[in-house]
Amino acid sequence: MKGKRALIAGVTDQNRAYLAQLLLQKGYTVTGIVRRSGHASVFDHRLKWLGILDAVELVDSNLLDQSARLRIVQTAKPYNLAAQSFVTWSWRQPLLTGQATGLGAVHMLECLRSVASNACYYQASTPQMFGLIQEKQQGETTTFHPRLPNGAAKLFAYWMTIDYRGSFGLHASNGILFNHESPLWGLELACSVRGTLVPANQVEGAK
């Protein structure tokens, strides 16, 4: 298939929606992986707000569906930003967090190695990997010490991305995304404490 194509895992969230908008402006054909839930009436509201819902091809899947992943990565440049980032939920579902966030990235990398080794891959990492803060400012040389299931799972995905790049020559990159807000920012993640996202109602003094 001719033209530039991009695949975005978790396309309906804040960062993914803005990324989809940017890539569409650059002339990409954008495919977005979504996991539909009981909130089917609102799951795509960010894409609607940006006015790009009709321009994004939505594929109903998840990061552990290996057969579906093989079918859709062959012509795309994958951006993996999907993860279980809510602190409370990740502790309630640590096994699911590890499978979706950690192993999900490896599923994507393995698909690329098998059927699209010339594609570019971006793995979105989190400051939760630093966890127990040992420096006021974190950088690429800061020691990782995750304290949350999401941070530990993301760290696994981070190192596997590096290992797949070194072992198989994939064009695979990591990015550590610190907290940032926009009009699309979810109410359940209204603030940040020491690099860890927390629900607003769990923050001291929150109203």
pLDDT, tens digit, for every residue of 139-161?
888 999 999 898 999 999 999 99
pLDDT digits (tens, 9 = 90+) for 101-137: 899 899 889 988 988 888 889 998 888 899 887 888 8
Is residue 205 over pLDDT 60? no
Percent of the chain with pLDDT over 70: 71
Structure tokens, 74:
């062959």
| Domains of the chain listed by start with CATH number | 5-202 (3.40.50.720)
- In whole numbers, what is the pLDDT of the chain averaged over residues? 78
pLDDT of residue 85: 53
Nearest to 90 by CA among 188, 14, 7, 8: 188
Question: What would the pLDDT profile of 9-31 be if each residue is shown by its tens digit?
Answer: 888 888 889 999 999 999 999 98
Is there a contact between 202 and 88 (Cβ–Cβ < 8 Å)? yes
How do 191-193 and 196-198 pair as beta strands? antiparallel
Tally of residues, the chain:
207
Higher pLDDT, 73 or 199: 73
Is the pLDDT higher at 168 or at 43?
A: 168
The pTM is what?
Answer: 0.74
- State phi, psi for 27 to the nearest 5 degrees: 90, 10
198 pLDDT band (50/70/90 cuts)? very low
Q: Which two tokens stand for residue 192?
A: 């940040």
Q: Please, is 133 exposed, middle or buried when counting C-beta atoms within 10 Å of its C-beta (0-12, 13-18, 19+)? A: middle
